[in-house]
Amino acid sequence: MEEASFLARTHAGLTNTTGCRFQRPVSARSSRDIREVDGWVAWRWIEGETAPKRTREIVLAARAYHALLASVPFDPVVAARMNPWARADRVAWGEVRPDYPAEYLAMLKPLLARASSSLPSQHVHADLTGNVVFAPGVAPGIIDPTLYWRPAAFAEAVVLVDQGWFPQTLDLTPFDDTPDLPAMLRRAAARRIAEQPEQVAAHGKDASEAMRVARQVADWAGASLERLGNP
């Protein structure tokens, strides 16, 4: 798989940072070359457990990781994926027109109508909430990299949207310095909403459950935007 090779090459070449740990590919025993078999790459395990509520630490780890990725040039492999999550991402960024039931379109339309931003794109990990692990005495670890070509702030906004899954008071302070947060939040919520009909079509996800999830995302995003004074 071209994507697996790209991810392996990219992470093999990143420098270490004190702000986060990240997975590296396994090298062949006889050389420093990446060990790849039939398009698959083995990744080194890093210690830790997920803790999705540790939002501020997730955001800071994301920034350290994305600083490393900022100099990696665009690779078209990230734009070639055709899975439900990649298609939903393109819908959220206005690159493809959604063909969903009317209730989904009614949620997406107001989000995408006010989501313009001039932030630059780079490779980002846009599914961090459940993919940052914590262990005593070491920096947070980034796992399961699937990269998108989007602004780094978008990845942080996805973390904010995902906080709607956990019973807690809405806390925007971890995102106080996230650039263009209202616009990025709209894109992130649109992606999570669009993922639902995409999964119904591709994987047979229960339609009523998908709609429930989409409404929950829309409600959380609406509450967040109200708090930001940008409904």
| C-beta of residue 126 within 8 angstroms of C-beta of residue 153 | no
Q: Where are the domains of the chain?
A: 2-227
**CB neighbour class for 67 (10 Å; exposed up to 12, middle 13-18, buried from 19):** middle
Question: Mind listing the pLDDT tens digit for each residue in 175-213?
Answer: 999 999 999 999 999 999 999 999 999 999 999 999 999
Q: Is domain 2-227 annotated with CATH 3.90.1200?
A: yes
Give pLDDT, residue 171.
92
Whole-number pLDDT of residue 97: 94
Q: What is the model's pLDDT at position 34?
A: 52
Q: What residues of the chain score a pLDDT lower than 70?
A: 27-40
Sole residue written with tokens 């047979």: 204
3-state secondary structure of 29: coil
Q: Which pLDDT score is estimated for 55?
A: 96
